[in-house]
Amino acid sequence: MAYSEKVIEHYNNPRNVGTLDKSASNVGTGLVGAPECGDVMRLQIEVDDATGIIKDAKFKTFGCGSAIASSSVATEWLKGKSIDQAITIDNMDIVEELNLPPVKIHCSVLAEDAIKAAINDYRVKNGMPALELEEKIVH
């Protein structure tokens, strides 16, 4: 299967690979997996306590090119957004950005799940209730 140029570009030059201090109160960590393909993705956000803006985002993904590219794009988009804006990032935006073929849509869902998990981790750490997440159906 041919990957789009954008996927290849992100795969070769992934943005924001790395780790943030997961014990810090202003860092939210999302750890998600796609058991069918054995992928595992960790996405972290660092929030500016005063403004509520995400000032840094990092990821580490072990999986296929599309999963890496999806999380790379996600971290780029997260930086500079508020938590409330970040929660609205939809997997279909990633699909569109990367031209993902239908069989790889689940990779973008994984990235969206990772964003939401990271935000919830941040919320819970800071005394806010976790957001109820809707189940995405992927086919």
Partner 1 sequence: MYYFELFDTPISLLVDKSALLKKYYTLSKEYHPDNFSLGNELAQEQALNMSAKINEAKKILDNNYKRLEYILRETNTIIPDEKYVLSPQFLGEMMDINEQLIELEFEKNEADMLKISAELSSIEASIFTTVQSFFTLSNFEASTSDYLLLKDFYYKKKYIDRVKEKLEK
* 36 counts as binding partner 1 under rule CB under 8 A: yes
* 139 counts as binding partner 1 under rule CB under 8 A: yes
* 42 counts as binding partner 1 under rule CB under 8 A: yes
- Name the residue among 85, 125, 109 with its Cα closest to residue 36: 109
Catalytic residue flag (residue 64): no
* 101 counts as binding partner 1 under rule CB under 8 A: no
* 133 counts as binding partner 1 under rule CB under 8 A: no
CA distance 4 to 106: 16
Which residues in the 55-84 window bind partner 1 by CB under 8 A?
60, 62
- Name the residue among 102, 100, 38, 29 with its Cα closest to residue 60: 29
The set of residues, in sequence order, having a beta carbon less than 8 Å from that of 33 and lying 6+ positions away, is 39, 40, 41, 110
8 Å CB contact between 118 and 28? yes
Catalytic residue flag (residue 37): yes
Whichever of 2 and 139 has its CB closer to partner 1, that residue is 139
CB 5 to partner 1: min, Å = 25
